[in-house]
Amino acid sequence: MTVLRACAWFLVALCVANVWSGVGGAQPAPTPTPSPSPTPAATPSPTPQPPVRIRDIVVRGTQNVSPEVVYGAIGSRAGELLDSDRVRQDVEQILATGLFADVVVRVQTTEEGAQLIFIVVENPVVRRVEITGNTVVPTDELRAALGVREGGVLNTVDLRAGARAMEKLYQDRGYVLVRVADVEMAEDGTLRLVVREGVLERVELRGLARTRPEFVRRLITVRQGEVFNLQRVNRDLQELFDTGLFENVRAQPQPGSDPDKVLLVVEFQERSSREFGFGLGYSPQQGILGSAQFTERNLHGMGRTLVLSYQRNVSSLVGGITNTLLSAQPAENLVIQYRDPWFGGRGQTLALELHDTNQLVNDVTLGVQYFMALEGGSGVLSRRLSNELTGALTLRTERTNFTVVQGTSPVPLTPGLVHALRLEGFYDLRDDPRNPRRGLRTSASVEYGFRLLGADFEFFKYQAEYVHYFPLGEGSLVGRVRASASSGLLPIQEQYTLGGQNSVRGLPTLAFRGNSALVASLEYRMPLSALFPDLRDISAVVFADAGGVSASGFGFVDTVQFSYGVGVLVNSPIGPIRIDYAIGPAGQTQTWLYFGHPF
C-alpha cells in the first residue's frame, strides 16, 4: 500500500504540474545567441499564468462502496481554484476512510476549466475472519472485539482499532504481553489474524536464605509455559508477603529468549523468623504475671510456625502476694501451637494446639471465684475453596476442673471432658487482610459436642459474625456484630462470655456468661500521618462496644452492657501492635494488647 500511495502522490503532483503547464504556462527562455558584442543578450521575464478553476469533480472505481463516501472525504469544490496541496489532502482523506487501497488523481482541462477525477481502488471484501494463536480467550470474544463484518469491504482503520480492542480484552484480564502479531488478507477473502499471547519462560527466585525454594514455588501459581498474567503474579506476591516471612517481595519481568517470552525474576528480602521474649503484666485477678514465649515462623524453611508460651503468676517472687489466693494455687498457662500452611496441598492449612492452663475467674454471673483448670488440645484443618471463601473443620478435646476459692455457686459447677466437632465458613471481601479500609468479612459456624470416647456433655453451639469496613476520610469506619446461640445443656466452661479484648472491652474477661450472646462494636481507625506526616507508622482508634448474654439458648439478652475507649496501633518491626484503653459501664477501666486489629 505504501508503494501505491507513493505512486498516487507522484501522479497527483504530475497531473497538477501538467495543468499548470498546459494552461498558458511559462514559456521556455530562448537559447542565447552569441554576438560580436561582449555584452550578453538579456533573458525575458516569464509571463504570469492565469489560475485554473475546477469545473467539476468525478469519482470512479467504486463497486461495493457508495461514491458518496468518497465525495464526503473530498474537500475541493467545483468553482474553486485548483490547488495541488488541497488535492493532496483530498487523497489523504479518502485513504483515511480505510476503505481503499489506492487513489489516483487525473486532471482534464478545457477552456471551461479543469475536471478533477478521483480513481479509487477498493479494499477487498471480507468473506471470512480467521483468528489463530489464542488459547486463553475464546475466539468468539475476540471476533466481537475485532468488530470486522464478514461480507463487507475491509476497513483498515476499523481493523487497526479492532486489533487494539483485542489486545485490551487480554490486558483487562491481566495478559499484558499479548499482541496481534500478523494480519493478512488472502486472495479468497479470508482475513487472517495471528495472536501472540506471550508465555512465561521461567521463574527465577533471588534472595532466599532460610526459606526453601520449594515452599515459595508452592505459593506461586504462575507456571512455566503458561500465558503470562500480571494479575496472577500480583496475587502471588501478596500471598508471599502475607506469610510474614519477608520484608519485601517484588517481581521484575525481563525479556526472554524471544520477543514472545518473558522471564520473571522474583526478589525476596527475608525478615527474622525467630523471636524469644519475656514480659511482665498485671491483672487485679491474676496479680503480677510473668511470661516467656518462643516463636519460629519458618520451621525447616517451609513456612511452618511453632509457638511455645508460658505464663505464670510471679507475685510471690517479686515482693509479696498481691492476691493471697494465688499463693497456694498459682495461675499459669502453657500453650504449644503448630501451623502448617501447606498441609496436603495449596490452600490447605493444618493448625494444632495443646494447652494446660489454670486461671482465676471472678464469675459475676454466679457470684463466685474459682480456679478453672483446662487441659486439652485441638486440630483445625482449613481449606480455601475460592479467593473469597474458606472452610474449616475443628476437632477439640478438653478436660475442665474447678476449685472454688471464694463464695458458693448457686448451681453445680460442671467439671468433665468435652469432645466437640465444629464446621465453619469464612467469606472475605476485604481489600487488605492486614489493615482493611473497605469490604466485608463474615463467618458462620456450628459445633456439636458429642458423648463419645468418655465425653460427659452433648450440645450444639451456633455463631455468626459480620464485619464491614467503610472508608471515611483518611481512615475507616468499622462495624462488627456477633450473635451466638446454643441448644442442649451447655456446661459452664462452654457458655458464651461477655467481657475481654474481643467482646465488651470495658469489662474484664469472663465477667458475664450465658447460653446465648450478642455483641456489637463500632470503631474509627485513622492513620496519624493524615494530621502529622512524620507519624507514618502510627494509627489512632476510637471505639464503642455493647453486648449482653441470656440464660436462654435463643433468647433476648438480659442486660445490655456498654463500654468505650481509645487505642493506638504501631507498625513495629515484629508486626502491628495495638493497645486499647477501655472504660466499662461502672467506670472501671481495662487495657488490652493485640498484635494487629481485633477484627
* Residue 177 maps to a domain: yes
Do both 190 and 143 map to the same domain? yes
* Residue 421 maps to a domain: no
* 159 Cα distance to chain centroid: 33
Do both 263 and 296 map to the same domain? no
Do both 69 and 97 map to the same domain? yes
Strands (E), 12-150: 54-60, 100-110, 113-122, 128-132
Do both 58 and 135 map to the same domain? no
* Full residue range of the structural domain in which residue 372 is found: 273-321+331-413
Closest C-alpha among 117, 180, 193 to residue 154: 193
Q: With 0-12 CB in 10 A as exposed, 13-18 as middle and 19+ as buried, what is 560?
A: middle
Contact 310, 358 (CB under 8 A): no
Do both 512 and 560 map to the same domain? yes
Do both 244 and 337 map to the same domain? no
* Residue 99 maps to a domain: yes
Which DSSP symbol is given to 78?
A: T
* Per-residue pLDDT tens digits of the chain, which is 599 residues long: 333 334 333 333 333 233 223 333 333 333 344 444 454 545 555 555 578 999 999 999 999 999 999 999 999 999 999 999 999 999 999 999 999 999 999 999 988 899 999 999 999 999 999 999 999 999 999 999 999 999 999 999 999 999 999 999 999 999 999 999 999 999 999 999 999 999 999 999 999 999 999 999 999 999 999 999 999 999 999 989 988 899 999 999 999 999 899 999 999 999 998 988 887 766 655 667 788 999 999 999 999 999 999 988 776 555 444 455 544 456 789 999 999 998 988 789 999 999 999 988 888 888 889 999 999 999 999 999 998 999 999 999 999 999 999 999 888 899 999 999 999 999 999 988 878 999 999 999 999 999 999 999 999 999 999 999 999 999 999 999 999 999 999 999 999 999 999 999 999 888 898 999 999 999 999 999 988 988 889 999 999 999 999 999 998 888 899 999 999 999 887 778 999 999 999 999 999 988 889 99
For 416-463, give the DSSP string: EEEEEEEEEEEEE--S-SSS-SSEEEEEEEEEEE---TT----EEEEE
Contact 381, 353 (CB under 8 A): no
Report how far residue 98's alpha carbon sits from residue 155's, in angstroms, rounded to the nearest whole number.
Answer: 5
Closest C-alpha among 175, 179, 183 to residue 258: 179
Report how far residue 340's alpha carbon sits from residue 352's, in angstroms, rounded to the nearest whole number.
Answer: 9
CA dihedral 89, 90, 93, 99 (to 10 degrees): -140
3-state secondary structure of 492: helix
Which residue intervals of 394-505 are DSSP H helices?
A: none
Report how far residue 93's alpha carbon sits from residue 260's, in angstroms, rounded to the nearest whole number.
Answer: 36
CA distances, 266 to each of 207, 242, 254, 270 (Å): 9, 15, 11, 13
* Residue 260 maps to a domain: yes
Number of domains in the chain: 5
| Relative orientation angle of helices 84-96 and 2-22, to the nearest 10 degrees | 150
Q: Which amino acid is at 408?
A: T
Report how far residue 421's alpha carbon sits from residue 257's, in angstroms, rounded to the nearest whole number.
Answer: 54
Report how far residue 59's alpha carbon sits from residue 582's, in angstroms, rounded to the nearest whole number.
Answer: 87
Do both 479 and 566 map to the same domain? yes
* 348 Cα distance to chain centroid: 21
* Residue 591 maps to a domain: yes
Do both 293 and 387 map to the same domain? yes
The structure's pTM equals 0.70
Q: Pick from 197, 215, 244: which residue ends a domain?
A: 197
Partners of residue 548 on adjacent β-strands: 518
* Residue 525 maps to a domain: yes
Q: Pick from 70, 102, 122: which residue ends a domain?
A: 122
C-alpha cell belonging to residue 590: 481495662
Q: Which amino acid is at 245?
A: L
* Residue 277 maps to a domain: yes
Q: What is the CATH number of the domain that holds 151?
A: 3.10.20.310
Do both 405 and 306 map to the same domain? yes
Do both 211 and 193 map to the same domain? no
Terminal-to-terminal C-alpha distance of the chain = 65
Q: How many CB atoms lie within 10 A of CB 103?
A: 25
Do both 408 and 281 map to the same domain? yes
Report how far residue 560's alpha carbon sits from residue 521's, in angstroms, rounded to the nearest whole number.
Answer: 13
| Relative orientation angle of helices 156-171 and 139-146, to the nearest 10 degrees | 130
3-state secondary structure of 400: strand
Report how far residue 64's alpha carbon sits from residue 127's, in angstroms, rounded to the nearest whole number.
Answer: 13
Q: Pick from 71, 98, 122: which residue ends a domain?
A: 122
* Residue 24 maps to a domain: no
* 221 Cα distance to chain centroid: 15
Do both 252 and 282 map to the same domain? no
